[in-house]
Structure 1
Amino acid sequence: MKLKRLLAGFCCAALALGAFTGCQQNGGSSDGSYNVAIVQLVDNGAFTEMREAFIQQMRDLGYTEDEMTFDVLNAQGDTSTLNSICADLNNQDYDLIVPIVTPATQAVVNAEPDAPVVFISVTNPVNAGVMSSMEAPDKNATGTSNIVPVDEIFGLMNTLTPDAQNIGILYCSGEVNAVSTAQNAKDYLTENGYTYDEVTVTNSSEVQQAAQSLASRVDAIYVPIDSTVQTSMAQVVEAATDNGIAVYGSDPVMVQSGALASASCSNTQLGQESAKMADQILQGTAVSDVPAIYMSDFQYVVNQDTANALGITLPSDQGWSVITTEAQG
């Protein structure tokens, strides 16, 4: 009889331990709170929009400040620092890791953290090596993908600067997302009878000289999704304006920095949708069961100040968002 009671006690203890372990896996820390790492290579207006939208959406989903904290890990544009940040992730008690755009996501996934990864705005997750399939994530990472509509961007160009035929493309050769988007742009331009002249950089210190050189020999400049060039967007715009040509971007923040126009996904929606995916995972859904998604609800933004500087009259019936250049601090 004593033996039976002893065995029953062991069974109850084992069941209790198993239930506790299950709560630990899907319910955050032992006190029920969650610690989230947000990883960035650099910071800029676009990334700030994505990050703030993600955090606000998590709050709206019911994760209060007491229940969820965020560590923003910014490598300040240094890839070595980014790799060090990612290598240290498993030494911290994170329940979720949220990298913003392609370079940070690649670094996080390559570090193979134990915590699930939900990325924001990776242009081509499969091509970037983040997953083998959008439908069935296989590297403990899922998230949102920002399709860059080059046809829409060059449609804007045709409307606003119809005489532009030789297009400059400026991007960082080390960013997979930039290379991929630039290739799509080159394919489109070739198929539609334009010519192009491309210049690549490897870091932000090269952008100003590259922009000055390119602006002197093309009719307009296109900048793909590119963290490196976007950081120095004001220099690109200055070089273009000095030569009387427009810059077309792949993000509204580029337009805030003086580019003439962009067509892109909403940074806010990218952050919000990634947060909804994170919620599914924190509630117990396996990462592999949360497909990555393409965002294709585009917004069109033009800069009135830049249009005025270039002598361009903006159509009044297009439904575009018209903004002005933000002061550069």
Structure 2
Amino acid sequence: MRSILLALAATVALSMPARADDVTVAVTAIVEHPALDAVRDGVKDALAEAGYKEGENLTFLYESAQGNSATAAQIARQFAGEGPNVIVPISTPSAQAVVSSTRDIPVVFTAVSDPLGAQLVTDMEKPGGNVTGISDMSPVAEHVALIKEIVPSAKSIGYLYNSGEANSVSLLAVLKTEAEKAGLTVVESAATKSAEVQGAARALVGRADVIYVPTDNTIISALEGAIAVAEESKLPLFTADTDSVSRGSLAALGFNYRDVGKQTGEVVVRILKGENPGDIAVRVAAGSDLVINKAAAAQMGVTFPESVLKRANRVVE
């Protein structure tokens, strides 16, 4: 289907005079879920605000790898061959695939927790080469504090993650450090594909006092399975991304991912206007919202303290 659309676009292009300011931005994500979709839409928002609009002077390509790393690599090679002005990979697996596929096309990664650990760049301040981007490194210490505030009796945190995702492995190390400071232990349960998420969540029942889901694309893409287990077992489930709260997680303290996308898009615009990506520092996304879900709290047997209710930026009823 996409090849047909590209052929049609090429036919139309032959009948129209090219404009010097026409640009192509290619975006890819490892999987589709609300947070990553919001990043994509935020990138498009920033481009539009800078005057780059689809159908006028912007071709905006988008491909999802549907959770498959081999597909991510195929998309990366495809985009590299098409030669867009900028490639924007969303998530660590997609970023690793794109960075491995081109040394010439500017790359602006986003929604990557640990760019150094993922070997996307060797220096955050001076990345060099053709790569820069935006990190969404979670404020893990604040997450642990929030868990203790909402569930003060908790002694252990169940960490639900894909052990094959580099960002989740990096976050696990941070979580263990912060949990130890707070007198908590961490219990791991891994799912390497979306079909395993519910079973991995069930494996935490009786072993952990709460479940914590990081910005892990495999788990978040199948979050409803974990939430069903949490509700059935009265096991409070926290997420690192705020978009998951409306899907049934108890609470999250983190980024508005549409804003993360806009911040990413602003970097893309700088490159389109002539800056070298290697001269643009990699930075952690700005902003942090507290979102809570009262209905989920009732299902999981939790009562929010007044301090949390007062601080919440958004309350899902």
Q: TM-score scaled to structure 1, two decimals? A: 0.86
Task: Trace 1:174-193 onto structure 2 (pairs within 5 A).
Answer: 174-193=164-183
Task: Trace 1:137-216 onto structure 2 (pairs within 5 A).
Answer: 137-216=127-206
1:262 paired to 2:256: no
1:46 paired to 2:46: no
Q: Specify the code of the residue in structure 2 equivalent to 1:257.
A: R
Task: Determine what percentage of the aligned residue pairs are the same residue.
Answer: 31
Between the aligned partners of 1:272 and 1:202, the Cα distance in structure 2 is 30
* Cross-structure match for 1:15: none
* Cross-structure match for 1:319: 311
* Cross-structure match for 1:67: 57
Q: Specify the code of the residue in structure 2 equivalent to 1:53.
A: G
1:128 paired to 2:110: no
Give how far 1:290 is off: 0.9
Q: Specify the code of the residue in structure 2 equivalent to 1:119.
A: F
Which string of whole-angstrom CA distances, capped at 9 and with x for unpartnered residues, describes residues 35-61 of structure 1? Answer: 111011101000111111110111011
Unaligned stretches of 5+ residues in structure 2: 1-17
- The answer to whether the Cα contact below 8 Å between 2:89 and 2:109 also exists between their aligned partners in 1 is yes
Unaligned stretches of 5+ residues in structure 1: 1-28
Give how far 1:174 is off: 0.7
- The answer to whether the Cα contact below 8 Å between 2:96 and 2:120 also exists between their aligned partners in 1 is yes
* Cross-structure match for 1:297: 287
1:217 paired to 2:199: no
- The answer to whether the Cα contact below 8 Å between 1:172 and 1:178 also exists between their aligned partners in 2 is yes
- The answer to whether the Cα contact below 8 Å between 1:166 and 1:194 also exists between their aligned partners in 2 is yes
Q: Name the SS of the counterpart of 2:36 in structure 1.
A: helix
Aligned match for 2:21, one of 32, 37, 47? 32
Give how far 1:127 is off: 1.1
Between the aligned partners of 1:306 and 1:116, the Cα distance in structure 2 is 42
Give how far 1:313 is off: 2.8
Task: Report which of the two structures shows the higher radius of gyration computed on alpha carbons.
Answer: 1
Aligned match for 1:243, one of 223, 233, 237? 233
Q: Name the SS of the counterpart of 1:170 in structure 2.
A: strand
* Cross-structure match for 2:85: 95
- The answer to whether the Cα contact below 8 Å between 1:89 and 1:113 also exists between their aligned partners in 2 is no
- The answer to whether the Cα contact below 8 Å between 1:215 and 1:221 also exists between their aligned partners in 2 is no
Q: Name the SS of the counterpart of 1:99 in structure 2.
A: strand
Q: Specify the code of the residue in structure 1 equivalent to 2:131.
A: A
Give how far 1:113 is off: 5.0
Between the aligned partners of 2:224 and 2:313, the Cα distance in structure 1 is 20
- The answer to whether the Cα contact below 8 Å between 1:256 and 1:323 also exists between their aligned partners in 2 is no
- The answer to whether the Cα contact below 8 Å between 1:145 and 1:293 also exists between their aligned partners in 2 is yes
* Cross-structure match for 1:14: none
Q: TM-score scaled to structure 2, two decimals? A: 0.89
- The answer to whether the Cα contact below 8 Å between 1:140 and 1:287 also exists between their aligned partners in 2 is yes
Deviates more, 1:179-188 or 1:295-304: 295-304
Q: Specify the code of the residue in structure 1 equivalent to 2:252.
A: S
